[in-house]
Amino acid sequence: MHSHRPILGAALKLTSVVLLSTMAVGVKYLDGAVPAGEIIFMRGVISVIVLAVIARRIAGWHLLKTMNWRSHALRSLMGTNSMFCWFTALTLIPLADFTAITFTAPMFLTILAMVFLGERIHHYRWTALVVGLIGVLIMIGPHLSFGGSSSLGVGLSLAAAISSALAMMFLRSMSSAEHAITITFYFSLTTMVCAAFTALWGWHAPTAEQWAIIIGASFFGVFGQLLMTYSYHYAEASMIAPLDYANLLMAVLYGYFLFGEKPGASTWMGAPLVIAAGLVILWREYRSYASRLAIVPSPTVAE
């Protein structure tokens, strides 16, 4: 049964954003020295093992049983495609540019959720999405170039955003019937199997430092993915999608402290709009949630 707890859903989503952003930093740091398929394969192996252990301790192996193979396949394949595009694009364009382009995912998800899931999109959500998108456009405008590897990086980033939106739509439609661990397990298994085929094109023998980064990024990735899956169990996709904009703050901080990227004037102009969009969503959803609680009669009131 689906549980509507939007504040918890938002908190889980924000935590997943931090973890997945940290994983992206690890991939960016490797800078293509290790093939994307090899990194994804190792992430898949670690994820499958960790999730299997968690499932066994929580409810036994039957937690991983499912009859919803079609939905799992659609969600997992879209997520796998997004991950391959994501990992490759990170090696071709700056972290801030990549992050900004992927912010188009909430826009695609909002439309998909309305058309295919029948979710009702209130005007303040549309407004927040538009405001956030304007902020993103202000940020990326002066920085993007469309020649050579940059052009490919931009295209892959956009493809990652569209695939991610499709994956999140399928995730929303099945999260009320499937356990979060089950969904994440089959996604990880799919990425592992698909990534294994890239060995045909040759893999690299990582150094000790590269192994440490790959393993660390994999753990951040699996727990980030798990929390993201849980978040869609508690809140509507169109409500928590704009919270992906928090990636902007993480990209600015990581870019500055780890890669020496100093935010320009466009970042300082666009960032407040992006932050405001997320805050509007949270504030309005909290008010709506509090109002629903207020109208429920208290069982302790004397007759």
Domain boundaries, the chain: 6-291
* Residue 42 clears pLDDT 60, i.e. is over it: yes
* Residue 247 clears pLDDT 90, i.e. is over it: no
- CA nearest 39: which of 26, 53, 21, 52? 26
Find tokens 């004037």 and name the residue. 265
- CA nearest 266: which of 136, 153, 154, 102? 136
d(CA 141, CA 154): 12
- pTM of the entire predicted model: 0.79
* pLDDT at residue number 116: 78
* pLDDT at residue number 197: 96
d(CA 223, CA 17): 11
* pLDDT at residue number 180: 83
**Which amino acid does the sequence have at 257?**
F
Residue with the bigger pLDDT between 115 and 39: it is: 39
Sign of the Cα torsion 66, 55, 218, 171 reads positive
Span 46-80, pLDDT tens digits = 999 999 999 999 888 889 988 888 889 999 999 99
Taking CA atoms, 53 is separated from 61, 130, 188, 206, 273, in Å, by 9, 42, 14, 26, 42
The whole-chain average pLDDT of the chain stands at 83
